[in-house]
Structure 1
Amino acid sequence: MLGKKKPLIRGESAWHKGWKDLFPESYREVSFPDKLLGDLHRADIFTSCGTTLEFQNSPICLDELRSREAFYPKLVWVLNGKKFKGFKILKHLPDVDDPRLDPYDFCLGEHLSVYRRAELHSGAARPLNFYHPELRNIPFTSYYYSFCWKQPHRVWYEATCPIIVDLGGHFLYQLKQRPQLGESYPYLHMITKKAFVSQYL
């Protein structure tokens, strides 16, 4: 005989509860008093290694993001990417930290190409694709991806703690940014959901 399902906490989504149920009950909804402000913070998951996992099903404001990141010394955001509008994974990427790519900035946009950094200030920089003789020997990975997000929640680009995007299924995508001379280049690092959860159990 199956046991009764635990009811959702008020305001909690099924996605949110599904994530919390992957962890021991002692890890869930752990409260911490903020003595300075007199507030009470409640971590979705607080692990035995001292990492807080926050499952975010909806956008938040920049003040809230900074408040939580300042309070929890080791925080990881997990976002419900199925609710993102205009979010699409595009192409495999080379290793963005490959030293052979140091002289280049990745172009922002849906087409995978780069600029020579030496040409960026001259106004004569032209995009190069990875068929170009300078780049065609650089291998592509099976775990880094470019993506587009037509209606992004810009606050997440301000985060200083790791961001994991859940699009459903067995894989998750960590949102990363490559520092460049121009605007930082955002990209995704694919990991398995099983491996992500296992590291905190």
Structure 2
Amino acid sequence: MKFSLVNGQRQEAEPKLSGLCPACGCQMTAKCGRVRVHHWAHKNQGQCDPWWEKESEWHRSWKDQFPSDWQEYIQHDNTGEKHIADVKTKAGWVIEFQHSVLNLDERRSRENFYQKLIWVVDGTKRKCDIEPFKNGMVYGQSPDPLSPNKCRTFFPKGNLLKNWSECSGHVFFDFGEEHPLWWVFPGSNETYAYIQSIPREKLIQSLQDRDVADLNSFDSLISDFEIFIKRCETDPELPRIQRLKEIQIATT
């Protein structure tokens, strides 16, 4: 974890510090080695949140794009169950940064628990995931001229897209800072997936403390995406299925 309670205040790990877990109240020890990012660990074996995972540099750098008081938010439901969200925005969006492979049951459990959920997935974790997406190994319809950064792909191939296409949350693939993010819209499935490229700065800014009616807010981006999806479903000119040109992840 990034934060522990030291004298009642949230604090990042520093050498020789000890503190209390904000979620369960157990003793925590600061881990400040040279290899892993500085973090807090429970003094006794085990974790208070079974969904919590070890953080990578990638994970920590994403969390740091948001205010510290949004990070490691402890959320409860009406049964008393609680989990530590990576980030929760003022608008109520929970953001989970997923570096490791996640099994289907746990993914669905998180989506049911958090409801308004955004996944940011490390697309560089497995090299075998990158090439199918990069080379456009999918069938689909040509991009809508009114929305050139969006498309509907048919029969998505590659484990990365297939594994995440049926999420109830919004999914963003991160292939590295030199590339845009790729947004997979909820409601996609094994037959087709709605995807959109988006600059990472635009996503981060849309999730900052904005009014939902702001044209640059995340909710407004969702509305814009939904307009494209509706056109795909109703415009007789758009359902033409053809081989997609190679999806260029690298910008030229």
Instruction: Please tell me the TM-score bracket, short chain as reference.
Output: 0.5 to 0.7
79, 82, 89: which one aligns with 1:47 = 89
Cα deviation, 1:145-168, whole Å, max 9, x if unaligned, reads 669753447442231111011111
Change in CA separation of 1:179 and 1:83 when aligned onto 2, cut-off 3 Å: closer
Name the structure 2 match of 1:16.
59
Change in CA separation of 1:40 and 1:198 when aligned onto 2, cut-off 3 Å: same
Give 1:157's aligned amino acid. Answer: S
134, 148, 153: which one aligns with 1:89 = 134
Shift of 1:90: 3.8
Extract structure 1 runs of 4+ deviating beyond 4 A.
138-141, 145-149, 177-180
Given that 1:166 and 1:173 are in contact with CA atoms closer than 8 Å, whether structure 2 keeps it comes out as yes
- Inter-partner Cα distance in structure 1 for 2:140 and 2:206: 35
- Inter-partner Cα distance in structure 2 for 1:168 and 1:63: 27
- Inter-partner Cα distance in structure 2 for 1:143 and 1:69: 26
Name the structure 1 match of 2:196.
189
> How many aligned residue pairs are there?
155
Given that 2:167 and 2:187 are in contact with CA atoms closer than 8 Å, whether structure 1 keeps it comes out as no
Percent identity, aligned pairs only, is: 30
Given that 1:60 and 1:155 are in contact with CA atoms closer than 8 Å, whether structure 2 keeps it comes out as no
Change in CA separation of 1:179 and 1:39 when aligned onto 2, cut-off 3 Å: closer
Give 2:196's aligned amino acid. Answer: H
Shift of 1:16: 0.4
Structure 1: gaps (5+ residues): 92-108, 115-129, 131-137
So what's the TM-score if we normalise by structure 2?
0.52
- Inter-partner Cα distance in structure 1 for 2:157 and 2:91: 33
So what's the TM-score if we normalise by structure 1?
0.64
Shift of 1:83: 1.5
144, 150, 157: which one aligns with 1:144 = 150
Name the structure 1 match of 2:168.
160
Name the structure 2 match of 1:68.
110
Cα deviation, 1:111-148, whole Å, max 9, x if unaligned, reads x566xxxxxxxxxxxxxxx7xxxxxxx74964136697
Structure 2: gaps (5+ residues): 1-13, 15-31, 42-53, 209-252
Change in CA separation of 1:22 and 1:113 when aligned onto 2, cut-off 3 Å: closer
Cα deviation, 1:150-188, whole Å, max 9, x if unaligned, reads 3447442231111011111252110247879xx522353
Given that 1:27 and 1:47 are in contact with CA atoms closer than 8 Å, whether structure 2 keeps it comes out as yes
Secondary structure of the 2:124 match is helix
Shift of 1:194: 0.7
Name the structure 1 match of 2:38.
7
Secondary structure of the 1:30 match is strand
Given that 1:34 and 1:41 are in contact with CA atoms closer than 8 Å, whether structure 2 keeps it comes out as no
Name the structure 2 match of 1:169.
177
- Inter-partner Cα distance in structure 1 for 2:206 and 2:116: 14
Change in CA separation of 1:66 and 1:113 when aligned onto 2, cut-off 3 Å: closer
